[in-house]
Amino acid sequence: MAAPDIRVGMKLEVLREGSAIPLYTRVEEVGLQEFAVSSLFAGAEVHVLHAGDELKCIFTDKATHAQYGFASQVLRREARVVPLYYLSRPQFFTRIQRRAFVRLPVLIPQLFRTSDDSPWHQGYLLDISAGGVRISHRDPLVVDQELMLQFALRKGEGPFVVRGYIVRVERVEAAGPATFHSGIRFKALTEAMEDLIVGYVFERLLARRRKQDM
At 31-89, the pLDDT tens digits run: 999 999 999 988 778 889 999 999 999 987 776 666 789 999 999 999 888 889 999 99
Q: Please name the helix (run of DSSP H) or strand (run of DSSP E) that holds residue 1, with its range, or none.
A: none
Looking at residue 131, what is its pLDDT? Answer: 87
Evaluate whether 11-97 and 104-209 have a shared fold: yes
For the chain, the domains span 11-97, 104-209
- Domain covering 11-97: architecture: Beta Barrel (2.40)
Whole-angstrom distance, CA of residue 13 vs CA of residue 11: 7
Tens of pLDDT along 96-151? Answer: 754 446 788 999 999 999 988 899 999 999 999 888 999 999 988 999 999 999 99
Q: Flag whether the pTM goes above 0.75.
A: no
By the 10 Å C-beta count (0-12 exposed, 13-18 middle, 19+ buried), 175 is classed as exposed
Dihedral, CA of residue 65, residue 192, residue 145 and residue 117, to nearest 10: 180
Nearest one of 160, 157, 156 to 197, comparing CA atoms: 160
End-to-end CA distance of the chain: 39
> Would you say domain 104-209 falls under CATH 3.40.710.10?
no
Nearest one of 69, 97, 73, 76 to 6, comparing CA atoms: 69
User: How far, in Å, are 26, 103, 132, 192 from residue 23 at the CA level?
Assistant: 11, 20, 24, 17
Tens of pLDDT along 170-197? Answer: 998 876 788 999 999 999 888 778 878 8
Span 194-213, average pLDDT: 75
